[in-house]
C-alpha cells in the first residue's frame, strides 16, 4: 500500500525516468547499462519511501500512541505557552529517510488548535529544530479534558509537510492524518498526568507503539 500524498512525487519521478530512459536509448548501449539500473533504483526508492503499511492500533482510550515511525531522540521538560499554557514533557521522534513517513493521530479527541509555521531546515535532531524549522502544530483535547500538542517538523532533507486536519475536527487515535517527506521529526508535548512509557533511544512504530498513558481519568 502506498501513501496517497506520495502520488504526485511518484508520478514526477516515473515520468522523469521514462523520459531519460527514452533519451538514453539513442545513445551507445554501454550508457544504458549504467543509466537504466540507476533509474530503476530511483523508482524503487521512491516507492519504498511512500509505503504505507497497515497497523494494529492498541486498545485503550487513555493511551498516547506514537504518531511516527522513528527513534526517540529527546525527552525533556519544557514550557508550552501556545496551546496547553503549562509545563509539559516533550518527546521527540526522529524519522530517517528509511522510516515510514505516514503520520497517525496519537490520541482521540477534538482538534482545538492548528497552526502552520514556515521556517528553516536545520537537522531534525537538533534541539532548536522544533522552534526554527518549518512545522505544523496540533492541539488536541481528549474526552477526559486533558490537552496535549503534537508537531510535524521538517528536517534537512524534508522540504514539505502534508496534513489533512482542520480545527474542530474529531480525530481518532491511530488514524492517518498526513506525511512528512524525506527525513523529519515529530514532537509530542504531554502534561504531567501522562505516564511516559518510552525512553531515549527507543524505536517507535506509528499507530502501534505506546508513548504514554493518561493517569487518573
Which positions are catalytic?
184
- For 112, half-sphere exposure in the C-beta direction (CA atoms, 13 angstrom radius) is 14
- Grid coordinates of 146: 486533558
Task: Give the number of other Cβ atoms within 10 Å of residue 52's Cβ.
Answer: 17
CA distance 144 to 146: 6
Asked if 191 contacts 84 with a C-beta cutoff of 8 angstroms, the reply is yes
Instruction: Enumerate residues 6+ apart whose C-beta is below 8 A from 4.
Output: none
Amino acid at each position: 500500500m502506498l501513501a496517497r500524498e506520495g502520488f504526485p512525487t511518484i508520478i514526477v519521478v516515473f515520468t522523469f525516468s521514462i523520459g531519460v530512459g527514452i533519451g538514453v536509448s539513442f545513445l551507445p548501449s554501454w550508457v544504458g547499462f549504467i543509466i537504466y539500473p540507476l533509474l530503476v533504483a530511483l523508482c524503487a526508492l521512491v516507492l519504498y519511501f511512500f509505503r504505507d503499511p497497515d497497523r494494529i492500533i492498541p486498545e485503550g482510550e487513555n493511551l498516547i500512541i506514537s504518531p511516527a515511525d522513528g527513534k526517540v531522540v529527546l525527552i525533556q521538560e519544557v514550557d508550552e505557552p501556545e496551546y496547553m499554557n503549562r509545563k509539559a514533557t516533550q518527546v521527540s521522534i526522529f524519522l530517517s529517510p528509511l522510516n515510514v513517513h505516514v503520520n497517525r493521530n496519537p490520541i482521540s479527541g477534538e482538534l482545538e488548535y492548528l497552526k502552520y509555521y514556515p521556517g528553516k531546515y536545520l537537522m531534525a535532531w537538533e534541539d532548536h529544530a522544533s522552534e526554527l524549522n518549518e512545522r505544523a502544530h496540533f492541539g488536541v483535547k481528549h474526552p477526559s479534558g486533558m490537552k496535549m500538542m503534537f508537531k510535524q517538523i521538517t528536517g534537512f532533507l524534508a522540504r514539505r509537510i502534508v496534513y489533512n486536519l482542520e480545527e474542530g475536527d474529531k480525530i481518532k487515535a491511530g488514524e492517518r492524518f498526513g506525511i512528512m517527506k524525506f527525513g523529519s521529526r515529530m514532537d509530542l508535548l504531554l502534561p504531567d498526568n501522562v505516564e511516559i512509557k518510552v525512553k531515549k533511544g527507543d524505536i517507535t512504530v506509528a499507530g502501534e507503539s505506546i508513548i504514554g498513558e493518561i493517569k487518573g481519568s
